[in-house]
Amino acid sequence: MHLVHLSRPVLVVGFVGVTLAAIGAFQPDDSVIYVEEPDVVRKRGVRGQIEGVAFVRGLIEWEYHLAGKADEFFNAHPDLDPAAVVPAIEYATPFAARLAERYGLPGAGLGAAQILRDKSLLRRVSAAVGIANPASVPVRGPDDVRDFLRGRSGPVVLKPANRQASVGTRVIQNAAEVEQAWADCLVQDEGIFVPDRPMELSMLAEEYVEGPEYSVEMLVRDGAALFVNVTGKQLFPGPHPVELTHTVPADIPDALARLLVERTELLVGAVGFRDGFVHGEWIVSDGLPYLVECAGRVPGGGILDTIQLAYPVELLRSYYAVLKGEGLPAELPRSAKGGAAVRFLAAAPGRVSAVHGVEEARQAEGVFLAAVTVGPGHPVAELRHSWHRAGIVMATADSSTEALRRAEAAAGMVRIDIEGEE
């Protein structure tokens, strides 16, 4: 006898393989339909990765990066009746927000999602409510960048207005670097993670703000915060601002944590964000938080995992509950019970000859995860954005400071040899 699906499916827009186990912990069998770009399905072998995964009902290939595709999807699937539309990656947020609107479901709202996806728009909207932003101008070529540099005593940041993972971002110290920096930043290929068709080029030159970096993670329902966390960050040295460590919760005074949360709440209201997750990034200079950017989806880079370990909290499950319009599975904690930290790994450019110490790192005190994403024979590119990192170590402890120390110690056990290196 043919069994009819009785449950309403959850649509997850954008495939993230590392979350399969986490979603499977709370989503029932046959309950999730993935929506992914056809090129990405092919390049990443998505069908093979979801085959046999109990909670997956199906996969719909759809060019969701393009304007109007959410309305087209709704008209093509009027009887789908999803329980929720979940944006899993940065580029999925406008499509997911609009699709949720069309199906009458909780979501960020298309207006908010579009503002968050465009850093230039976000600067103007957030500045209008008094949020500090670095000086920023659109640039079309090296001459525009040199004009922006002229008369400034410090460095500037060249970055895309519409990309993710620090792709195409570089710090420029002086005018002599501009030509090469512009050429470097135009290389915005994210490989298997994006469709083959080109994305619009939209570049900004911005004032470089010096100070410690933080992010605020916030689960939001009806525009109000249900859960907040502040993460401390460190960057790899060099001209490309790629994140080296994440520490949860940030080891900072309560007053600064409150200020960062208040600024993020102000930002949520400024863009009109309704339901879902925001991940706002800030630099604090002379006690004042400057907005870097804000994403309308769960954070990457292991931050979600570290939050869930440090508090502890079923934050991903709670996120799904918000987007389903359901009650939370449990009361959300207001403070962490311990600490967790991520330390990323990098290797010199070249071809990998050997990897050592991963098993030792996994056995080190407090280590929750140690993984290397390259192996013998793999090419390693210069570290220009997050996709170029070579591995990750995650550790826990009674405090975030000790968790970071453990992650650093375990990361030090891993060695990635490059052919030709002495």
Look at strands 10-13 and 32-36 and give their pairing: parallel
Kindly state the helix (H) or strand (E) to which residue 322 belongs, with its residue range: helix 315-324
Mean pLDDT per block of 10 residues along the chain (422 residues) reads: 66 95 97 97 96 97 96 97 96 97 98 95 97 94 90 84 63 86 68 64 88 98 98 91 95 98 98 98 97 96 96 98 97 98 94 96 98 91 81 97 98 93 58
Kindly state the helix (H) or strand (E) to which residue 282 belongs, with its residue range: strand 276-285
Q: Is the dihedral of CA 25, 86, 69, 41 positive or negative?
A: negative
Q: Please give the pLDDT value at position 189.
A: 58
Q: Which pair of tokens denotes residue 112?
A: 């908010």
Give the span between the Cα atoms of 26 and 6, in whole angstroms: 18
**SS3 of 263, please?**
helix
Residues near 98 by beta carbon (within 8 Å), at least 6 away in sequence? 70, 71, 110, 113
Q: Is the pTM above the cut of 0.75? A: yes
CB 257 within 8 A of CB 282: no
Q: Which pair of tokens denotes residue 320?
A: 């799904």
Burial class of residue 357, CB neighbours in 10 A (0-12, 13-18, 19+): middle
Residue 355 to residues 16, 18, 46, 86, 420: CA-CA distances in angstroms? 25, 22, 27, 37, 14
Count the alpha carbons within 13 Å of 395 in the hemisphere toward its beta carbon. 26
Give the span between the Cα atoms of 335 and 314, in whole angstroms: 14
Sheet holding 10-13, edge to edge: 56-61, 32-36, 10-13, 84-87
Give the span between the Cα atoms of 327 and 131, in whole angstroms: 32
Residue 189 to residues 167, 172, 185, 193, 404: CA-CA distances in angstroms? 8, 21, 10, 9, 31
Give the span between the Cα atoms of 28 and 93, in whole angstroms: 24
Q: What is the 3-state secondary structure (H, E, C) of 91-139?
A: HHHHHHHHHHHHHCCCCCCHHHHHHHHCHHHHHHHHHCCCCECCCEEEE
Q: Nearest CA to 284 among 305, 264, 306? A: 264
Q: Please give the pLDDT value at position 305.
A: 97
Q: Nearest CA to 46 among 95, 85, 89? A: 89
Q: Which residues pair with 233 in a beta bridge?
A: 213, 246
